[in-house]
Amino acid sequence: MKDALFSPLTITGISHHIASVADMEAVRFLDEEAFLSRAGEWFKGVVLLQTCNRIEVIVHGSADLLVSFMESEGRSGWQVWEDTAALSHLLDLAAGLDSMVIGEDQILGQLRKALSISEERSVADPLITLCINKAIHAGSEARSMSGINRGAVSIGSAAVLLAEEQLGSLNGRHILVLGTGEMGVLVTQALAAKDLSAIYVANRTFDRAQILAEKVEGTAVPMTDLYRYLTLSDVVICCTAAPHPVIRADELNEALKVRSWPLDRKNHPLIIVDIAQPRDVEDSVRTIPGVCLYTIDDLRKVNDDTSRFRKEAAEKVRMYLDQELVQFIRLFNRKAADEVLGTLHSWAEQIRTRERDKALSRLSGYDDRYHEVIDDLTRVITRKLLTDVTLSIRACAERGEMQLAEELVGAITRGEMICSRKFD
């Protein structure tokens, strides 16, 4: 089969397409490293991608095995992409076509980070590494050739647009950004272009809050003063990596009892946009009078409004990715053939060293120079003898002809018959 893969690749996931923030929050893997260690016992390679609007597991292994593993982890009913469909999905993902915010760039960094974590845990085999890096490269090229990310908003800047939509304008407003990670930086960058009265930046590590605040001429806020600054703000955008809620309903309700502006003494609405995953704000906060709580689910409309003009660019990206998929399949299969070729070369190396040692034993009166010559000679002969068959096996792999490639190795190493009809 032309589009068959030489080795199985499977992706399973849940995203904003089929799940709400609460649904994804309930099935997140809180300890990513522990999950990767468990998955590494099942699969040759594995990557876990967790963002604010998707959770995906990418493995070098079969769909049946991945589904069984996920069920053992208490996750079931997720979407599954197998083999070429998995490669195609990976390209769409890296190009930003599958993102809530079409064309956004953040997914590229998230893929790099996910691969890096797998490499650190020694669960990223060469095939998984190839897939992620190829997808990242294709995603970068897709943006360069189409301009799909021009004018695109990140989740962070979409949160700012949502707040602006609710208030009419952010001019003269006080904004509190909770969190200084990648998302916090995107939020503050979007806010820097607004004519604000004040930007407050709060973070568990005060030094990091100071660094980010200085970049936007804002004010760093210690977490011990969080609720005080909440009462001084018009908008709060939450994007920490905390595993539990940072803003609790009871404490916020108590703090807002004294919330008023010095000159008019009137209560003012408080807009909270929670784009953290897991969420930073207890859901019951939305029941507090005067508080409007929004989550990632509410950003869908912002994306719809800002992505219409990028449809033409998306069509260009789709055509480009269709072409890239053909090359991706060939590249994947070529790499996947290394395992079969490893069997062949190991067999040949055993024969080479055995015969070399026999020859050296007959030259027992000669110096080390003769030993080096014999060793080099046997290496060169073995390599040259395997060159043509290695090329043939790689060619079979690139065409997805797994059976023929395996039969070639079997015929050489075990004297088996070649049964496949096609051989060219």
Task: Could you list the residues known to form a binding site, using ranges.
Answer: 51-54, 99, 104-106, 110, 179-184
Task: Look up residue 84 and give its amino acid.
Answer: T
| Residues that constitute the known binding site for substrate | 51-54, 99, 104-106, 110
**Residue 29, phi-psi category: left (phi > 0), alpha (psi -120 to 50), beta (remainder):** beta
Alpha-carbon distance 341 to 4, whole Å?
18
Classify residue 261 by its DSSP letter: -
Cβ-based neighbour number of residue 151 at 10 Å:
12
- Closest listed residue to residue 47, CA positions, set 132, 133, 106: 132
Tell whether the torsion through CA atoms of 74, 80, 83 and 87 is positive or negative: negative
Task: Look up residue 138 and give its amino acid.
Answer: A
Strand partners, 57: 12, 48
Q: Are the CB atoms for 261 and 225 separated by under 8 Å?
A: no
Q: What are phi and psi of 220, to 5 degrees?
A: -80, 140
**Residues identified as active-site:** 52
What are 201's two structure tokens? 């930046």
Alpha-carbon distance 206 to 273, whole Å?
22
Find the helix packing angle between 83-95 and 106-120, rounded to 10°: 130
Tell whether the torsion through CA atoms of 370, 374, 379 and 380 is positive or negative: positive
Helix (H, G, I), strand (E, B) or coil at 77: coil
Find the helix packing angle between 311-361 and 368-398, rounded to 10°: 150
Q: Are the CB atoms for 271 and 167 separated by under 8 Å?
A: yes
| Residues that constitute the known binding site for NADP(+) | 179-184
- Closest listed residue to residue 394, CA positions, set 344, 337, 340: 337
Question: What is the C-alpha radius of gyration for the chain, rounded to an integer number of angstroms?
Answer: 28
- Closest listed residue to residue 291, CA positions, set 242, 244, 248, 261: 248
